[in-house]
Amino acid sequence: MSAEYMALRGNHEIILCERGIRTFEPSTRNTLDLNAVPIVKKLSHLPMIVDPSHGTGAWDLVLPMAQAAVVAGADGLIIEVHPHPESALSDGFQSLRPEKFRALMERLRELAPYVQRSCPEEVSTVVR
C-alpha cells in the first residue's frame, strides 16, 4: 500500500520493482520472487519491473531469470552491464558483459511474442 499512499499524495510516476527477498538459501544473493509479478499485476494497475541481477547476485543466472520474468508478465527489466566485471567497483559478479547482454536481448526478442509482449530494438544501458 506504500505505492498507493504516494499516489494519493500526488506522485503518479510509480514503478514497482522485484529485486529478491532475503531467505536462508545461500547459493544466491536473494531469492527472486517471480510469483510476485503476476500477483502484483492482478492487484495493481502499476507497472512492475524485475531486477534479476540484484535478485540473484550471479551473472550466469540473469538470463534464465530475465526470461522467466518476461513470461511472468514483467513490464521491464533492470540488467547490470559492465565491460570488465572483474574490475567493477561494485557488483561485478552480477554484471553481464556487453556481448552477453546483446545475447540476452536477442533471446528476449525471440521469446516475447510467445507471451504477447514486445522487446525494444534499441536499449540504453547504464554501466556501473
**50 three-state secondary structure:** strand
Helix (H) or strand (E) holding 76: strand 76-77
- The 3-state DSSP class for residue 23 equals coil
- Select the more confidently predicted residue: 118 or 73: 73
Location of C-alpha cell 566485471: 85
Domains of the chain: 2-115 (3.20.20.70)
- Helix and strand element counts for the chain (H, E): 5, 3
* One-letter amino acid for residue 91 of the chain: D
Taking the C-alpha atoms of residue 120 and residue 29, their distance in angstroms, rounded to an integer, is: 29
> Could you tell me the pTM of the whole model?
0.87
pLDDT score at 117: 86
Residue 1 pLDDT: 78
Tally of CB atoms within 10 A around 110: 11
CA angle 54, 120, 95 (to 5 degrees): 25
